[in-house]
Amino acid sequence: MRFIYTKAFQRSFAIFALVSLFIIASLTGFLNPVKSGILKAYGASVSTISDAGSGIKTTFKTLFLIKKLSSENDQLTQKVDELSFENARLKAAKQENAALRRALNFEQESSFDLIPVAVKISDPTGFTQTIVVDKGRSSQITEGSSVIASPGLLVGKVTRVYSTTSEVTLITDPSLTVNAFVAESGALGLLSGEHGLSLKFNLITHNELIKTGDQLVTSGLSGDFPRGLLVGEVSSVSSSSSDLFQKAYVSPSADLRNLRFLFVIKQ
Amino acid sequence: MKYLILGIGIFILTVVQTALAQNFSINQVFPNFMLMLLVIVSIYASFHEALAAALLAGMLADFVSALPDGVMTISFLILVMAIRLAGRLFSEKKENFLAQAGVMLAAVVAYYFLAFFVSEIFARLGLGASFSLVDSLKKIWLEAILDLIVLYPVYLYYLLVSKLMLRYAGEKSI
């Protein structure tokens, strides 16, 4: 038993005790105020450097893209015209829809109650696709709430809430699955993250029609996400007769690499 | 005082890593400054300093990552001890940059596997969720290249922190 008096043993025991204490304190929630404080200080420091970095990035981007701007402007003008027409058509359809709903005594489509949040940090370990936002329990954010970018593009889900900050898992994280359907054909399937870059749309039966460019919208089936949020666009389809289901790769509609301001849907 | 300066040094490096990752990542991959610092500290600093660095970096990484608290701390501690053990084999080659790069590449691979196995143990004990090792390994080569690029700047940063530790704590670090 003499070994317990050796320095090596005492040192190892001290480290073991410290790590165990850290894990237990974290599990019991005792560390939450410390964690929240560190996340706040860390987020503020990261934002300061990140904003400077973002400025440099934008300057270089503009210098490189200046040549393309003219042709891009023409394309965008054309796109605006097309979208204006589409918008007018949709407005008319919405009015018609509302009139029909009234006639059928349906409930009016409810609009979301949104909490604006700012992105503070992303997971520096790179093992998970998560971000930390600047509002938490004190702003009535709850675990499981959906997070969207401004026009209704799904970004992720709140997975942990602290007093003044919250952790959001992005849709590109493999641990998150989203029930979605193809807006064009109505084909249902399950979306999950793929290498943190894109999304995989799985479990689509062979009789469903799915093609590149199709848009995917949340179905609201599992209750995890409200129905009607735009998730992404089909970038490629993989279909083989030997496979039980079709598979499609989807690029997220929200720019998940440049997230700044988001909205949490109040539950 | 010595460990406070080391802690501040680690904090600043992690902040820079996160800020750069948010703006300049390539396919969601970015250099791991924290890991590079640990590799350098394990090779050049004393055992106590290496352990302190692993504890501080690990706890900070646990706080800011979505993995269960403790995963990064344990992974970093094991990694530092492994590098120290391996370091005995090439003690004469400490100043050799190729040897450093070799240790760094081995550390990157070991780090991925360690983090996965520790998080898997946590997941099996019901203490949190694990992550996909396959998905992570697909980007390991890119991270290794980026880590190799930042290895020397991080080494210079460590020299700066060491000088500060020497000046304010009056203890020799390297």
CATH number of the domain encompassing residue B70: 1.10.1760
- Where residue A158 falls among pLDDT bands split at 50, 70, 90? very high
Chain B interface disruption, residue of A27, A46, A48, A127, most B CBs within 10 A: A127
- B100: tokens are 């450093």
- A22: tokens are 């850290």
Residue B105 lies inside a defined structural domain of this protein: yes
What H or E segment, with its residue span, contains residue A119? strand A114-122
Task: Give A31's contacts in chain B (Cβ within 8 Å).
Answer: 69
Beta-carbon contacts of residue A81 (< 8 Å; ≥ 6 apart): none
Chain A interface disruption, residue of B59, B64, B130, B133, most A CBs within 10 A: B64
How far separated are the first and last CA of chain B, in Å rounded? 16
- CA nearest to A130 within chain B: B66
The beta-carbon neighbor of B23 closest among A22, A53, A196 is A53
Which of helix, strand or coil describes residue A63? helix
pLDDT digits (tens, 9 = 90+) for B111-127: 888 888 888 888 888 87
**pLDDT number for residue A112:** 78
pLDDT digits (tens, 9 = 90+) for A169-205: 988 888 888 888 888 788 888 888 876 667 888 877 7
Q: Which residue has the tokens 């003499």?
A: A2
Greater confidence (B25 vs A105) lies with: B25
What H or E segment, with its residue span, contains residue A205? none
Whole-number Å distance between alpha carbons of B38 and B10: 9
β-partners of residue A233 are A215, A251
Residue B70 lies inside a defined structural domain of this protein: yes
Average confidence score pLDDT of chain A: 81
Q: Which residue has the tokens 């948010």?
A: B22
Which of helix, strand or coil describes residue A148? strand
- CA distances to A202, B155, B164 from B44, rounded to whole Å, are 49, 10, 16
Whole-number Å distance between alpha carbons of B174 and B170: 12
- Where residue A102 falls among pLDDT bands split at 50, 70, 90? low
Task: Give B136's contacts in chain A (Cβ within 8 Å).
Answer: 126-127
Instruction: Judge whether A228 and A222 are in contact, CB under 8 Å.
Output: no
- Where residue B173 falls among pLDDT bands split at 50, 70, 90? very low
Pairing relationship of beta strands A261-265 and A114-122 according to DSSP bridges: antiparallel
Question: Is A62 a residue whose pLDDT tops 70?
Answer: yes
Q: How far is B93 from chain A (nearest CA, A)?
A: 26
- CA nearest to B65 within chain A: A123
Residue A104 C-beta-side C-alpha neighbours within 13 Å: 8
β-partners of residue A249 are A200, A236
Question: How many structural domains comprise chain B?
Answer: 1
Instruction: Judge whether B34 and B57 are in contact, CB under 8 Å.
Output: yes
Greater confidence (B52 vs B135) lies with: B52
The beta-carbon neighbor of B66 closest among A11, A130, A194 is A130
- B104: tokens are 């760094």
pLDDT digits (tens, 9 = 90+) for B52-68: 899 999 988 888 888 88
Whole-number Å distance between alpha carbons of A139 and A120: 16
With 0-12 CB in 10 A as exposed, 13-18 as middle and 19+ as buried, what is A50?
A: buried
Would an 8 Å CB–CB cutoff place B67 in contact with chain A? yes
pLDDT digits (tens, 9 = 90+) for B71-104: 899 999 999 988 888 877 666 656 677 777 788 8
Q: Taking phi first (over 0 means left), then psi (-120 to 50 degrees means alpha), and beta for anything else, what does residue A196 get?
A: left
User: Given an 8 Å threshold on Cβ–Cβ distance, is A125 in contact with B27?
Assistant: no
Whole-number Å distance between alpha carbons of A33 and B132: 29
Residue B145 lies inside a defined structural domain of this protein: yes
Would an 8 Å CB–CB cutoff place B26 in contact with chain A? no
What are the residue ranges of helices labelled H in chain A? 7-27, 32-65, 69-104
**Residue range A42-70: mean pLDDT, rounded:** 77
- CA nearest to A162 within chain B: B63
Task: Give B38's contacts in chain A (Cβ within 8 Å).
Answer: none
**Residue range A151-173: mean pLDDT, rounded:** 88
Q: Going from the N-terminus, what domains does chain A have, and what CATH number goes with each? A: 113-267 (2.40.10.350)
- A209: tokens are 């029609």
Please tell me which of A6-20, A189-203, B12-26, B36-50 the model is most confident about, judged by mean pLDDT.
Answer: B36-50
pLDDT digits (tens, 9 = 90+) for A224-253: 888 888 888 888 887 777 777 778 888 888
**pLDDT number for residue B171:** 53
Residue B55 lies inside a defined structural domain of this protein: yes
- B166: tokens are 């020497």
- CA nearest to B143 within chain A: A126
pLDDT digits (tens, 9 = 90+) for B158-169: 889 888 888 877
User: Given an 8 Å threshold on Cβ–Cβ distance, is B17 in contact with A196?
Assistant: no
Whole-number Å distance between alpha carbons of A130 and A156: 9
Whole-number Å distance between alpha carbons of B91 and B88: 5
**pLDDT number for residue A104:** 65
Residue B174 lies inside a defined structural domain of this protein: no
Complex confidence, ipTM: 0.76
Query: Residue type for A101, please?
Result: R
Q: What percent of chain B has pLDDT over 70?
A: 92
Whole-number Å distance between alpha carbons of A94 and A88: 10
User: Given an 8 Å threshold on Cβ–Cβ distance, is A124 in contact with B65?
Assistant: yes
For residue A99, count other CB atoms closer than 10 A to its CB.
10
Question: Is A126 a residue whose pLDDT tops 80?
Answer: no
What are the residue ranges of helices labelled H in B25-139? 33-44, 47-64, 71-87, 97-124, 133-137
Count of A-B CB contacts under 8 Å: 129
How far separated are the first and last CA of chain A, in Å rounded? 58
Domain span holding position B113: 2-169
Task: Give B19's contacts in chain A (Cβ within 8 Å).
Answer: 46, 49-50, 53
Q: State chain A's maximal CA–CA distance in angstroms.
A: 88
What H or E segment, with its residue span, contains residue A131? strand A130-133
**pLDDT number for residue B76:** 92
